[in-house]
A and B are shown apart, each in its own frame.
Chain A
Amino acid sequence: MDIKDIIKPENLVYDKTKVLTDNVMHYCPGCSHGVIHKILAEVIDEMGIQEETIGVSPVGCSVLAYNYLDIDWLEAAHGRAPALATGVVRLNPEKYVFTYQGDGDLASIGTAEIMHACNRGENIVVIFVNNAIYGMTGGQMAPTTLVGQVTATTPYGRELDLHGYPLKITELVAQLPGTSFVTRQSVQTPAAVRKTKKAIKKAFANVGQKKGTQFVEVVSTCSSGWKISPVASNKWMETNMFPFYPLGDIKDSEKETADKFKVQ
């Protein structure tokens, strides 16, 4: 049998989505960003919304996300992605607008912006990639760094008295009446990837129905920052991060209507 007999449309079992560009990703081996980019691209492709989607990339390792997804992008200042997304969606309410942010960006320098965007119920998807460390700047402590976790700025492990507690920002935004779907997922196994993709798809569909802020946290690894191998990183994440950041839907409801809180 000749190779040409094999390469036929009917034999196709997997094809890279056209929403992913051919650019070689700069992410480290074992990094979760690549998988998350891929499923995000697939969701946009499968929903047929490439022309209607506008992404906002953060400062952090995914600052160059705009090189990998073939859609229109805005690149935000550190932490400000939800404010940019607000500007985009308020003036272009028919668009599918999403932010893609890491834990330093979203949960540290950008806490005001994410809280208020969620509280206003901006009709956007937030993809929050939480790997408990600052990757791009070389592995410093993030707000989500676990107690005892070693980083470049917690060389003896995160100490409560010195650094305070890891921040469960996802649980916080779930309290806000502007969010409707808040979930925490991961991408370390094929089953987990499928669940995360389903969650992202649901988030985009909800935005299509103007349901308010959709918040998808993806608990992720950072082999380079954690200084352990990719396989060991997955294990470390399951052992240490999942107990503190448990997976699953935190909120799945309608955005609350204002009238019940109105002054009399």
Chain B
Amino acid sequence: MTEEIIIAGFGGQGVLSMGKILAYSGIMQDQEVAWFPSYGPEMRGGTANVTVILSDDRISSPVLHEYDTAIILNQQSMDKFESSVKPGGVLLYDPNGISRHPERKDIKVYRIEGTRLAAEMGNPKTFNMIVLGAYLKVKPLVEMENVKKGLEKSLPARHHKLIPLNIEAIEKGCGELETVQE
């Protein structure tokens, strides 16, 4: 099994940390992982994206140009990465702020109202975990127990009290996933 994912959105949406938690969860179940961010000036208040690879085998290139899954969280990223999803692959997106929805017919498309649900939870910072939950519903590649361990590993100890809230957000995301086309 090898899963190649791009997570793309705005800086501040928790794109990089979502990728990190996913990668750490992979390590917790003995998978090989790679996490490669876009870096540089585009990070400063602009778009941010990260490539995450989970695999049972040694990972070759950490830099990818096509993906099994694209998790898309703003319009710029939709424009940039919709075409990079492999045929038959997955596109998961938050419709908030999206004016041009996915058009490809050869991929599976899912929606998660992450922004709205995070607001409902009363904490916008749960956004990325809601999206992660939706992703894990589509591709249950890591077990919840390992996601929890991944959270413990990737969050500094002073934030460990927030783990239950994060788990709650992940579960919410799992429950609220909408299928657009399969």
Q: Do chains A and B touch in the complex (CB under 8 A)?
A: no
